[in-house]
């Protein structure tokens, strides 16, 4: 039974108290659901089955697409307040010569296990407080990691990452949870985020993580190819802001400290969630921190324009400059604030859609302590990816989700020539919404600058109430999918994934 049906029956009537929504049950009962609302439906089963393939799956596309995202949004009548905020669920598509299997499994985090046993939420999370006010929420150190943002493959191991919480290691074939991992480092040394970068040439794995104490500490951690610690460093951030992703080049790390200041005292007092304590202060401008990888010098600070950034595309060095491409917004109103679209969807409402996610480029001259920002495309983009073979070095193409309607979600994909050439786009049918496109290289063409391979895109078809995985030729996305893997159900929105080519 869908949550919407439960609402109609009044089973979830206590929901209003939790979300602060006005007349929610009445609104839901009287209005038909809008197409993208299914992105916020929980997945209440763990499945493993052969999926139906429509079209022709390329004969040399063999491997597994792993993806991570929130899978569970409610317990005991209480619903999470933001679509970014649910228990992590891994879903994978195993593409083999005899067909495609789909599997999904929740990460057995401490939070998930404790709450499953109790039958209710016990932990406040970064965008949702527990019912009961500050008395129950004034323990931010009790924040429950959900391992629900990204899944990464490294040295034949599979990891699910959250933000500001330690990752979980998973068993790649069964998706069973092995447990929290510190990636071989001592307890308390460092923290990780959901966006590590892998250097395809040296094999280094570079992480940043934010620690929300009396001051904001940014941990930088780099492993070598075998997983041995290269170096670790802690920076005292010059401003207390929210950071989700970062840039890495062959010699540098760049942190983009956009003016998303955090009123941490109100969060620690249990008055707001972590997301709720973010205050966008345009007038403060942006600040770039440039750090030498493995160095001990003070970071170079460079003031820049104020833009909100979730995700970088890639970064590399060009002469004496750093090129750092990203998706950046003039404001974060689609995601942050009481009426934000990404919050409203949890109440089956259409919320505020703010500035579009433009494709932007910082060109940074560290020696001159200067940076300029260019806008490469003004459309509404998000979830940028590249061929991972080109990470940290000049890439030709970037891949993006694109929104062409006013929902704040994505219904198209874009392949952008980041060197100034052609831009390709494919727009899905009305009522179809997509997630991050993942590049899968052909077996012999992994490092081709032309990106000869495929794009794998998870798509919600709201009219069929089914998801599919759409497979495109990466250099001809305008032609549309050459194959679709149809599931028998919908899936909630997923965030980040990785492709693992079969041996
Ligand atoms: Fe992310």
For the chain, domain boundaries: 1-32, 33-501
Q: How far is the CA of 56 from the centre of ligand 1 (A)?
A: 31
Q: How far is the CA of 379 from the centre of ligand 1 (A)?
A: 19
Give Cα 479 distance to the centre of its chain: 27
Alpha helices in 126-232 (DSSP H): 134-137
Alpha-carbon distance of 235 to 16, in angstroms, equals 41
Q: How many CB atoms lie within 10 A of CB 265?
A: 11
Nearest to 196 by CA among 169, 237, 239, 162: 162
Q: How far is the CA of 213 from the centre of ligand 1 (A)?
A: 22
Q: How far is the CA of 309 from the centre of ligand 1 (A)?
A: 10
Q: How far is the CA of 436 from the centre of ligand 1 (A)?
A: 10
Q: How far is the CA of 244 from the centre of ligand 1 (A)?
A: 6
Beta carbons of 44 and 491 less than 8 angstroms apart: no
Q: How far is the CA of 247 from the centre of ligand 1 (A)?
A: 13
Q: How far is the CA of 10 from the centre of ligand 1 (A)?
A: 35
Q: How far is the CA of 51 from the centre of ligand 1 (A)?
A: 28
Alpha-carbon distance of 29 to 23, in angstroms, equals 10
Q: How far is the CA of 249 from the centre of ligand 1 (A)?
A: 19
Alpha-carbon distance of 158 to 153, in angstroms, equals 5
Alpha-carbon distance of 475 to 451, in angstroms, equals 7
Per-residue confidence (pLDDT) for residue 453, from 0 to 100: 93
Alpha helices in 49-163 (DSSP H): 110-118, 134-137
Q: How far is the CA of 68 from the centre of ligand 1 (A)?
A: 10
Query: Helix, strand, or coil here: 385?
Result: strand
Kindly provide the b/e burial profile for residues 410-434, where b requires at least 16 CB atoms within 10 angstroms of the residue's own CB: bbbbbbbebeeeebbebbbeeebbb
Q: How far is the CA of 245 from the centre of ligand 1 (A)?
A: 7
Per-residue confidence (pLDDT) for residue 29, from 0 to 100: 41
CA angle (174 as vertex; 171, 177 as ends), nearest 5: 45
Beta carbons of 166 and 145 less than 8 angstroms apart: yes
Query: Helix, strand, or coil here: 323?
Result: strand
Q: How far is the CA of 162 from the centre of ligand 1 (A)?
A: 9
Q: How far is the CA of 395 from the centre of ligand 1 (A)?
A: 20
Which portions of the chain are predicted below pLDDT 50?
Answer: 1-30
Class of domain 33-501: mainly beta
Tokens of 130: 């527990």
Q: How far is the CA of 494 from the centre of ligand 1 (A)?
A: 10
Alpha-carbon distance of 366 to 347, in angstroms, equals 46
Q: How far is the CA of 84 from the centre of ligand 1 (A)?
A: 10
Alpha-carbon distance of 164 to 291, in angstroms, equals 20
Q: How far is the CA of 195 from the centre of ligand 1 (A)?
A: 7
Kindly provide the b/e burial profile for residues 51-73, where b requires at least 16 CB atoms within 10 angstroms of the residue's own CB: bebeeebeeebbbbbbbbbbbbb
Q: How far is the CA of 445 from the centre of ligand 1 (A)?
A: 27
Tokens of 503: 């041996």
Q: How far is the CA of 370 from the centre of ligand 1 (A)?
A: 27
Q: How far is the CA of 312 from the centre of ligand 1 (A)?
A: 9
Q: How far is the CA of 35 from the centre of ligand 1 (A)?
A: 24
Q: How far is the CA of 411 from the centre of ligand 1 (A)?
A: 18
Q: How far is the CA of 163 from the centre of ligand 1 (A)?
A: 9
Q: How far is the CA of 311 from the centre of ligand 1 (A)?
A: 6
Tokens of 386: 């590249």
Per-residue confidence (pLDDT) for residue 20, from 0 to 100: 35
Q: How far is the CA of 14 from the centre of ligand 1 (A)?
A: 31
Tokens of 235: 């920076």
Per-residue confidence (pLDDT) for residue 165, from 0 to 100: 86
Per-residue confidence (pLDDT) for residue 51, from 0 to 100: 98
Query: Helix, strand, or coil here: 346?
Result: helix
């Amino acid at each position: 039974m869908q949550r919407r049906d439960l609402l109609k029956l009044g089973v979830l009537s206590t929901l209003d108290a939790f979300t602060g929504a006005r007349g929610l049950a009445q609104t839901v009962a009287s209005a038909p659901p809008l197409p993208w609302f299914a992105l916020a439906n929980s997945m209440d089963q763990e499945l493993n089955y052969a999926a139906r393939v429509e079209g022709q799956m390329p004969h040399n596309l063999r491997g597994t697409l792993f993806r991570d995202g929130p899978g569970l949004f409610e317990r005991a009548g209480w619903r999470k307040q933001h679509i970014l905020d649910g228990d992590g669920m891994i879903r994978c598509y195993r593409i083999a010569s005899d067909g495609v299997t789909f599997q999904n499994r929740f990460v057995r985090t401490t939070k998930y296990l404790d709450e499953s046993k109790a039958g209710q939420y016990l932990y406040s999370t970064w965008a949702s407080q527990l019912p009961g006010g500050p008395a129950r929420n004034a323990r931010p150190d009790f924040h429950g990691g959900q391992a629900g943002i990204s899944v990464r493959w490294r040295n034949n191991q599979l990891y699910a990452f959250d933000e500001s919480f330690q990752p979980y290691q998973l068993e790649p074939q069964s998706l069973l949870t092995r447990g929290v991992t510190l990636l071989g480092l001592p307890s308390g040394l460092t923290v990780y985020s959901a966006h590590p970068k892998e250097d395809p040439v040296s094999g280094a794995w570079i992480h940043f993580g934010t620690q929300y104490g009396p001051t904001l500490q940014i941990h930088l951690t780099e492993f070598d190819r075998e997983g041995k610690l290269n170096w670790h460093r802690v920076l005292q951030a010059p401003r207390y802001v929210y950071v989700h992703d970062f840039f890495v080049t062959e010699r540098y790390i760049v942190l983009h400290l956009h003016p998303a200041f955090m009123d941490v005292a109100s969060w620690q007092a249990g008055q707001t969630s972590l997301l709720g304590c973010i205050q966008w202060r345009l007038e403060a401008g942006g600040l770039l921190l440039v750090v030498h990888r493995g160095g001990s010098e003070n970071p170079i600070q460079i003031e820049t324009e104020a833009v909100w950034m979730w995700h970088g595309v890639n970064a590399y060095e060009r002469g004496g400059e750093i090129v750092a491409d990203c998706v950046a917004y003039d404001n974060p109103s689609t995601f942050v604030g009481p009426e934000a679209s990404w919050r409203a969807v949890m109440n089956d409402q259409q919320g505020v859609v703010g500035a579009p996610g433009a494709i932007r480029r910082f060109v940074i001259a560290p020696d001159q302590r200067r940076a300029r920002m260019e806008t490469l495309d003004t459309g509404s983009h998000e979830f940028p990816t590249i061929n991972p073979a080109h990470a940290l070095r000049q890439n030709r193409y970037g891949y993006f989700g694109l929104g062409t309607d006013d929902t704040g979600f994505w219904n198209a994909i874009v392949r952008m020539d980041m060197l100034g050439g052609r831009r390709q786009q494919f727009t899905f049918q009305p009522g179809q919404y997509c997630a991050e496109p993942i590049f899968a290289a052909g077996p012999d063409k992994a490092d081709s600058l032309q990106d000869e391979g495929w794009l794998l895109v998870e798509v919600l078809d709201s009219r069929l109430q089914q998801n599919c995985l759409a497979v495109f030729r990466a250099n001809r996305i305008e032609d549309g999918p050459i194959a679709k893997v149809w599931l028998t159900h919908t899936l909630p929105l997923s965030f980040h994934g990785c492709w693992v080519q079969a041996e």
